[in-house]
Copies of this chain bind each other. A is one copy, B any other.
Amino acid sequence: MSEVHGSAVPSELSSATPESPLQRPLRIALFGFGTVGSSVARILVESRPNGVELTHVFNRNVARKKADWVPSGVVWSEDADAVLASDADVIVELAGGLDPAGNWVRRALEAGKSVVTANKKLIAYHGVELEKLAAERGGHLKYGAAVAGGIPVIPGLEQGLAGDRIERIEGILNGTCNFILSKMEKGAEYADVLAEAQKLGYAEADPTEDVGGFDARAKLSILMRLALRVQIHPDEITPRPITTITAMDFSYAKDLGCTIRQVARAEWAQGPVAATVGPMLVDLNSPLAWSRGTENMVIMSGRYGGDVVFSGHGAGGHPTAVAVVSDLLALAHGSRRVAIPAAPAKVGVEFEVPHYIRFLVNDRPGIVAAITAALARENINIRAIVQKPGFPADALPFVVTVEPCRSSALQRALTSIKTMDCLLVEPLDLQMLE
C-alpha cells in the first residue's frame, strides 16, 4: 500500500488500532450555550459517541446557563481567552455573526486547534481565508451546519457529489421566509404571518436579515463555492425582499399553476456566474413547492448526475446540533474534507428564464398596448396576460408572464414601462422556476 492513503480505518469505533485516529477522545469546547449549543451538549451527553468528549463551555453569564445534566467534569467559563488557551482540541463556535466569533475562530485556528461552526455569515465572508489558515496551522475547519442546518447538503456535496460538475443550485435556504410564504399561500397576509412567526420565535423583532434575503445569500455564496466552485463576495448578490408579495400574487400564481417561495439560485452562465435571491414563482409540480413551514430544500443539478434534491429541517436547535456533532465525529475519525478547488469569480444577474410581472394601475385605455409594445421592443415574447375580475378600475391588478428572456432585456423594458403615470406601484417582477 502506498503512503497516499495508508492509514487504517477501524470497522467499528471499539476496534480502533494504534494507527487509527481514535487514540483518545477529542476534547470539545462549546462557544455558546444557547439553543444550538445546549442541543449539541445534549446529544453528546445522551448518545455518548466514541471519539469526542465535551470538556469546556464558554458563555456570557455562564452561571445562568449551567445545566445539571452536563457531566461535572466540564469546565464552565465566561473567559473566552482561558478556553482558547485550554487543552481543548476543537472549538465549536455557535455565537454567530462576524465579531467576536470571527476573532475566536481565528485565534483557535492560529493555535492549531480545529473549529466546527454553524456561522454562515463568517464562512460566507471569510471562509476561504479561514480554511487557508486552518491548513497552514494543521487544524481543520468544518461548517456542515452553516447551510440548511440538519440536512447534510455540505457533506453530500463534498463527499458524494465532488465527482460531478454542478451547474445549477436552487434552494429554499431560509426557514422564516418559507414559513411566511407557505402560510400566505393558504390565504394569510404578510403582516399577520410575520407577527405569528415572531411570536413562535421563527422571526426576529427586526426580520430584515431573513425577509430581506441576506441570510439566504450568505448560504448561497457558501454553496456556490462548494458546488459551482466559484469564490464570490456575498455582497455582490443583491437580494430582493419578500415584503412586496401580497395575497393577490398568490392568487394569480395559483391560476398559473404555481406558488411563491423565497428561492436562492445560481448557475453557470456565459461570463460571470449568475446568482440571485428573492421571491419567485415556483411550479406546483416542482419539489420546491412541496416545502412547507420552516423546511429547507436544495436542488443541485449536475452535468453527469442530473438533479439531486435534499430537504429537511434547516434550522432549530436539534437539527443544527446534528450537523455540528456529525462534523465533530468526522474530525474524530480522521475524515478529511474533500477540498474542492474554487476560483474567484464575479457575480452577474443575467438569467434567461420566464418572468411573472404584476402591475397595479389606475385603468385607462391603452395600458396593455403600451406595456406589450415595450416588451416587444426588447424581443420579449408574452406567454400569458391574466386579469382577474372583482378589482376596482382605479386600483386594478393584472399579470403578464413572458417567455424566457435575458434579465437585462427585461430590465430595459421595465425601465421604460415604469415611466407610465398610470402605475400605482412599481411593477412586481418575479422569476419563474420551471
A→B interface (CB under 8 Å): 1-15, 17, 21-24, 26, 39, 43, 47, 49-50, 89, 112-114, 128, 131-132, 134-140, 144, 149-165, 287, 290, 302, 304-313, 318-319, 321-339, 341-342
Chain B residues contacting A306 (CB-CB under 8 Å) are 150, 312-313, 318-319
Q: Among B24, B138, B329, B338, point to the contact of A7 (Cβ < 8 A).
A: B138
Bound complex: CA A324 to CA B11 (Å):
21
Bound complex: CA A9 to CA B337 (Å):
7
Chain B residues contacting A322 (CB-CB under 8 Å) are 160-161, 163-164, 302, 304-305
Chain B residues contacting A332 (CB-CB under 8 Å) are 4-5
B152 & A160 in contact (Cβ 8 Å cutoff)? yes
Chain B residues contacting A162 (CB-CB under 8 Å) are 49, 325-326, 329-330
Q: Among B6, B290, B310, point to the contact of A308 (Cβ < 8 A).
A: B310
8 A-B pairs closest in CB distance: A152-B160, A163-B325, A155-B159, A155-B160, A150-B305, A1-B112, A163-B326, A308-B312
B50 & A341 in contact (Cβ 8 Å cutoff)? yes
A1 & B113 in contact (Cβ 8 Å cutoff)? yes
Chain B residues contacting A5 (CB-CB under 8 Å) are 21, 26, 89, 114, 139-140, 331-332, 334
Chain B residues contacting A154 (CB-CB under 8 Å) are 160
Taking the closest CB of chain B, its distance from the CB of A122, in whole angstroms, is 16
B14 & A324 in contact (Cβ 8 Å cutoff)? no
Count of identical protomers in the assembly: 2
Taking the closest CB of chain B, its distance from the CB of A282, in whole angstroms, is 14
Q: Among B26, B47, B161, B290, point to the contact of A152 (Cβ < 8 A).
A: B161
B9 & A339 in contact (Cβ 8 Å cutoff)? yes
A304 & B326 in contact (Cβ 8 Å cutoff)? no
B12 & A342 in contact (Cβ 8 Å cutoff)? yes
Bound complex: CA A302 to CA B8 (Å):
29
B302 & A11 in contact (Cβ 8 Å cutoff)? no
Bound complex: CA A307 to CA B163 (Å):
26
In addition to A5-B140, A10-B135, 8 A-B residue pairs with Cβ atoms within 8 Å of each other are A8-B135, A9-B131, A159-B330, A305-B318, A308-B310, A309-B311, A333-B339, A335-B337
Interface CB pairs A-B, < 8 A, 8: A4-B21, A8-B136, A11-B131, A150-B302, A151-B160, A152-B157, A159-B326, A333-B339
The answer to whether residues A307 and B312 also contact, given A50-B341, A163-B43 and a CB cut-off of 8 A, is yes
Taking the closest CB of chain B, its distance from the CB of A107, in whole angstroms, is 14
B329 & A338 in contact (Cβ 8 Å cutoff)? yes
Chain B residues contacting A89 (CB-CB under 8 Å) are 1-2, 4-5
Chain B minimum-CB-distance residue to A318:
B304
A152 & B308 in contact (Cβ 8 Å cutoff)? yes
Q: Among B7, B13, B49, B321, point to the contact of A336 (Cβ < 8 A).
A: B7
Bound complex: CA A134 to CA B20 (Å):
13
Chain B residues contacting A152 (CB-CB under 8 Å) are 152, 155-157, 159-161, 308
B50 & A134 in contact (Cβ 8 Å cutoff)? no
Chain B residues contacting A6 (CB-CB under 8 Å) are 138
Chain B minimum-CB-distance residue to A25:
B4
Taking the closest CB of chain B, its distance from the CB of A303, in whole angstroms, is 8
B313 & A305 in contact (Cβ 8 Å cutoff)? yes
A140 & B9 in contact (Cβ 8 Å cutoff)? yes
